[in-house]
Amino acid sequence: MSKRRIAIFGSTGSIGRQTLEVIEANPSLFSVEILTAQNNVELLVNQALRYGPKIVVIGNEEKYQEVLQALSGTGISVASGEQALEDTAGLDIYDTMIAAIVGFAGLRPTLKAIENGKTIGLANKETLVVAGDIVMKKAKEHHVHLVPVDSEHSAIFQCMQGEDYKKIDRIILTASGGPFLGRKPNFLVNVKREHALQHPNWSMGAKISVDSATLMNKGLEMIEAKWLFDVTLQQIKVVIHPQSIIHSMVEFEDGSMKAQMGMPDMRVPIQYALTYPARTRSNFPRYNFKDPAQLTFDEPDIKTFRNLFLAQKALETGGNMPCILNAANEIAVYAFLKNRIGFLEMTELIEQAMEKIPFIQNPTLNDYFESDAEARTFAASLVEI
Ligand SMILES: NC(=O)C1=CN([C@@H]2O[C@H](COP(=O)(O)OP(=O)(O)OC[C@H]3O[C@@H](n4cnc5c(N)ncnc54)[C@H](OP(=O)(O)O)[C@@H]3O)[C@@H](O)[C@H]2O)C=CC1
Ligand SMILES: CC(=O)[C@@H](O)[C@H](O)COP(=O)(O)O
Ligand SMILES: [Mn+2]
C-alpha cells in the first residue's frame, strides 16, 4: 500500500504537533508533504528538517526570508502569505489535509482543499461555524470526505459508522465544564488568562482553552455538529461530563445509545482521521475503568456561562449570525489573552456584535467574509485593539 501523503495546515500548533507524533509513530503509513505556520519560524524549520516536506508556508510574510535562509540547500520550497496558504492547498501533492489552523484564517485553505478533492481531517471547527452551509455543499459536490478531528465530533462520526443518519434522535455532546466548572459570576469576574488556560483534562492551544473555559467551545461544537450530522438545535444536548472519558454519544430512534470512550488524548481522533476508514494500532494510554472510576453527568449552567446561550441563539437564528458570533469571539478571546478585558466582558462584546452587525438570512461566501470583517472591526473598536 502506498503511503498517505499528508498536508498539515497549522503544524506548529497543538493539533499540528500531535499529528506529527502520530505520523512519526507510523512511518510506513504516511509521508509529510506540506507544513504551515503563522509566526513560529523555529518550530516550523525544525519540523521541516525532521519530516522533509516538499513545501513549507509561513503565513507572516515578514518571516519569509528567515525561513528561506534556514531551509536553503534542503530542496524544500518555501512560500509565504495568506494567498500562498490557499494556493498550496490547491496543489496536487497530497492526499489528506489536517486542517489545524486556528480560527477564521483556516476557512480559505480548507475550502481550497475541498475544491481540490482532498480528504479533510477537520480540527478547525471555526470553518464550519462560519460557513457550514457552503463548506458542506462544496464537500458534497467534490465527493470529499470531511473527517472530524474535534474529539466530540470524531466520537459521533465513529458511532455513526454503519448507521443511518436519518435514524438519529439526539446527539449528546459531552463538555468537561472547563477550569471554572461550578463557579459563579462573583468568582469569574476576577479570573485571568493563567487560570483560563489551565484546562483540567486537555492540553490545547490558547484560543480553544479560553473557549472551553467560557463554554463557547461547546457552543461552537453545537454549530459544528449541526453541519456535520445534519441535526437541529433541538436534537443536540450538551451534558457536563467532567472526566472527559465519554467523548460524545448518539441516541437513535429505537432508544439505543452509542458512546465513544477513551482517555482524553487528541492523538486518537487525529489517527482515526489520518487512517479513515481503516483503524490502526496505537500505543497511547488506555482507559482502565479505575482511573477515573466514576463517570458523572450534569446540566450546563448557561445562566453563568452565557456564551453557550449566545451560540445556541446564533445557531437558531442561522444566516450570518454564527459568523458574527465567531468573529466577535475571536476578538474577545484575543483581548482577554492580552489582559485588555475581563472574563465576563467577553460575553458582553459578543452580544453587542450580534446586535449591531446587519443580519443576512442567506449569505454568500463573500457576505461571510464581509460580516466577519465588520464584526471584528466593531468588536475591536470596543476594546481598542
Ligand atoms: N488543541 C486541541 O486539542 C483541539 C483543537 N481543535 C481545533 O483545532 C484548531 C487548532 O487548535 P490548536 O492546535 O489548539 O491551536 P494552536 O493555537 O495551538 O495552533 C494554531 C496553528 O495555526 C497557526 N496559525 C495561527 N494563526 C494563523 C493564521 N492567521 N493563519 C495561518 N495559520 C495560523 C499557528 O501558527 P503559529 O504557531 O506560527 O502561530 C499554529 O500552527 C482550532 O480550530 C481548535 O478549535 C479542536 C479540538 C481539539
Ligand atoms: C479536545 C477537544 O475536542 C476539545 O474541544 C475539548 O472538548 C475541550 O473540552 P471542553 O469539553 O472543556 O470544551
Ligand atoms: Mn472538542
Beta bridge partners of 148: 122
Among protein residues, the one with the nearest Cα to ligand 1's atom 32 is 38
Residue 384: per-residue pLDDT: 80
Residue 308: per-residue pLDDT: 98
Among candidate residues 80, 113, 148, the one where a domain is terminated: 148
Among protein residues, the one with the nearest Cα to ligand 1's atom 15 is 205
Q: Which ligand is nearest to the CA of 125?
A: 1
C-alpha distances in Å from residue 258, one per residue of 153, 163, 261, 279: 13, 11, 10, 18
Residues 12 and 136 in one domain: yes
In a domain, 282, yes or no: no
Annotated binding site for Mn(2+): 150, 152, 221
Which residues lie with the beta carbon below 6 Å from any ligand 2 atom? 150-152, 175-176, 178, 202, 208, 212, 217-218, 266
Asked if residues 189 and 332 have their Cβ atoms less than 8 Å apart, the reply is no
C-alpha distances in Å from residue 289, one per residue of 243, 262, 269: 12, 10, 20
List all residues 6 or more positions away from 218 whose beta carbon is below 8 Å from its beta carbon.
173, 175, 212, 238, 300, 308, 311
CA of 42 to the centre of ligand 2 (A): 28
Best of 15, 207, 271, 333 for a ligand 1 pocket test (most atoms within 8 Å of beta carbon): 15
Please name which of 33, 43, 49 lies closest in space to residue 13, comparing C-alpha atoms: 43
CA 244 from chain centre, in angstroms, equals 17
Among protein residues, the one with the nearest Cα to ligand 2's atom 3 is 151
Among candidate residues 118, 148, 178, the one where a domain is terminated: 148
Domain range for 228 is 151-263+293-314
CATH of the domain at 43: 3.40.50.720
Residues 23 and 58 in one domain: yes
Residues 15 and 102 in one domain: yes
Residues 135 and 163 in one domain: no
Please name which of 229, 295, 310 lies closest in space to residue 263, comparing C-alpha atoms: 295
Among protein residues, the one with the nearest Cα to ligand 2's atom 5 is 150
Residues 213 and 305 in one domain: yes
Residues 29 and 80 in one domain: yes
Residues 181 and 259 in one domain: yes
CATH of the domain at 362: 1.10.1740.10
Written as nine digits, the cell of 294 is 466514576
CA of 62 to the centre of ligand 3 (A): 33
d(CA 306, CA 100): 27
Which atom of ligand 1 lies at the shortest distance from residue 38's CA?
Answer: 38
Phi-psi domain of 278 (left: phi exceeds 0; alpha: psi -120 through 50; beta: other) = beta
In a domain, 14, yes or no: yes
Residues 140 and 204 in one domain: no
Total structural domains within the chain: 3
In a domain, 272, yes or no: no
Q: Which ligand is nearest to the CA of 199?
A: 2
Residues 102 and 187 in one domain: no
For the chain, which residues score pLDDT lower than 50? none
The strand order across the sheet containing 168-175 reads 236-240, 168-175, 246-252, 257-261
Annotated binding site for 1-deoxy-D-xylulose 5-phosphate: 125, 151-152, 176, 199, 212, 217-218, 221
Residue 303: per-residue pLDDT: 98
Written as nine digits, the cell of 234 is 433541538
Residue 214: per-residue pLDDT: 98
Among candidate residues 148, 163, 196, the one where a domain is terminated: 148
In a domain, 38, yes or no: yes
In a domain, 271, yes or no: no
Which atom of ligand 1 lies at the shortest distance from residue 211's CA?
Answer: 45
Nearest-5° Cα angle at 217, 81 to 268: 80
CA of 205 to the centre of ligand 1 (A): 6
CB-ligand 1 contact for 130 (6 Å cutoff): no
Asked if residues 103 and 323 have their Cβ atoms less than 8 Å apart, the reply is no
CA of 192 to the centre of ligand 2 (A): 20
pLDDT per residue as tens digits for the range 308-348: 999 999 999 999 999 999 999 999 999 999 999 999 999 99
CB atoms within 10 A of CB 246: 19
d(CA 297, CA 321): 30
Residues 78 and 26 in one domain: yes
Residues 143 and 220 in one domain: no
In a domain, 334, yes or no: yes
CB-ligand 1 contact for 13 (6 Å cutoff): yes
Residue 385: per-residue pLDDT: 76
Which atom of ligand 2 lies at the shortest distance from residue 211's CA?
Answer: 13
Asked if residues 101 and 9 have their Cβ atoms less than 8 Å apart, the reply is yes
Best of 202, 223, 265, 305 for a ligand 2 pocket test (most atoms within 8 Å of beta carbon): 202
CB atoms within 10 A of CB 370: 17
Residue 204: per-residue pLDDT: 98
CA of 221 to the centre of ligand 3 (A): 7
In a domain, 287, yes or no: no
Residues 120 and 258 in one domain: no
Residue 357: per-residue pLDDT: 98
d(CA 119, CA 104): 20
In a domain, 65, yes or no: yes
